[in-house]
Amino acid sequence: MSLSMPAARPLFDYPKYWAECFGPAPFLPMSRAEMDQLGWDSCDIIIVTGDAYVDHPSFGMAVIGRLLEAQGFRVGIISQPDWQSKDAFMQLGKPNLFFGVAAGNMDSMINRYTADRKVRSDDAYTPGGKGGSRPDRASLVYSQRCREAWKDVPIILGGIEASLRRIAHYDYWQDKVRRSILLDARADLLLFGNAERAIVDVAQRLSRGDSLAEMTDIRGTAFIRKDSPEGWFELDSSRIDRPGKVDKIINPYVNTQDTAACAVEQSKGDAQQEAGSDVQVLELLPHPRLERDRTVIRLPAYEKVKGDPVLYAHANRVLHLETNPGNARALVQRHGDQEVWFNPPPIPLSTEEMDYVFDLPYARVPHPTYGDARIPAYEMIRFSVNIMRGCFGGCTFCSITEHEGRIIQNRSHDSIIREIEAIRDTVPGFTGVISDLGGPTANMYRVACKSREIEASCRKPSCVYPGICENLDTDHSSLIGLYRKARELPGVKKILIASGLRYDLAVESPEYVRELVTHHVGGYLKIAPEHTENGPLDKMMKPGIGSYDRFKQMFEKYSKEAGKEQYLIPYFIAAHPGTTDEDMMNLALWLKRNGFRADQVQAFYPSPMASATAMYHSGKNPLRKVSYKSESVDTVKGERQRRLHKAFLRYHDPNNWPLLRETLKAMGRSDLIGNGKHQLIPTFQPAIDSYQSARRKNSTPAGSPKAGRVLTQHTGLPPRETGKRKAGKGKPRSGAR
Within 13 A of 135's CA, how many CA atoms are on the CB side?
16
Distance separating alpha carbons of residues 311 and 305, to the nearest angstrom: 5
The secondary structure element, H or E, covering residue 463 is: none
Residue 172 CA, chain-centre distance (Å), reads: 17
Torsion over CA: 581, 585, 588, 594 (sign): negative
Annotated binding residue at 21?
no
Distance separating alpha carbons of residues 101 and 376, to the nearest angstrom: 23
Which amino acid belongs to residue 26? P
Distance separating alpha carbons of residues 21 and 9, to the nearest angstrom: 24
Distance separating alpha carbons of residues 67 and 201, to the nearest angstrom: 12
Instruction: Write out the E strands in 151-269.
Output: 155-157, 169-171, 176-178, 189-191, 221-225, 233-236
Establish whether the linkage from the previous residue to 608 is cis, with ω within 30° of 0.
no
Decide if 44 contacts 19 (C-beta within 8 A). yes
Which amino acid belongs to residue 10? P
Instruction: Give, in order, the Cα–Cα distances in Å from 394 to each of 263, 271, 528.
Output: 46, 44, 14
Exposed (0-12), middle (13-18) or buried (19+): which is 524, by Cβ within 10 Å? middle
Three-state secondary-structure class, residue 154: coil
Distance separating alpha carbons of residues 222 and 342, to the nearest angstrom: 4
Which among 444, 358, 435 is positioned nearest to 401, based on CA atoms? 444
Exposed (0-12), middle (13-18) or buried (19+): which is 309, by Cβ within 10 Å? middle
Exposed (0-12), middle (13-18) or buried (19+): which is 709, by Cβ within 10 Å? middle
Decide if 540 contacts 397 (C-beta within 8 A). yes
Pairing, β 597-598 against β 714-715: antiparallel
Exposed (0-12), middle (13-18) or buried (19+): which is 7, by Cβ within 10 Å? exposed
Annotated binding residue at 146?
no
**Strand-pair partners of 130:** 122
Decide if 345 contacts 193 (C-beta within 8 A). yes
- How many CB atoms are located within 10 Å of the residue 13 CB? 9
Pairing, β 221-225 against β 75-79: unpaired
- What does the longest C-alpha to C-alpha distance in the chain come to? 101
Torsion over CA: 295, 297, 302, 304 (sign): positive
Which among 490, 328, 338, 355 is positioned nearest to 70, based on CA atoms? 355
Annotated binding residue at 398?
yes
- How many CB atoms are located within 10 Å of the residue 55 CB? 23
- Quick one: angle between helices 413-426 and 477-487, nearest 10? 30
Q: Which residues are annotated as a binding site?
A: 391, 395, 398
Binding-site residues for [4Fe-4S] cluster sit at 391, 395, 398
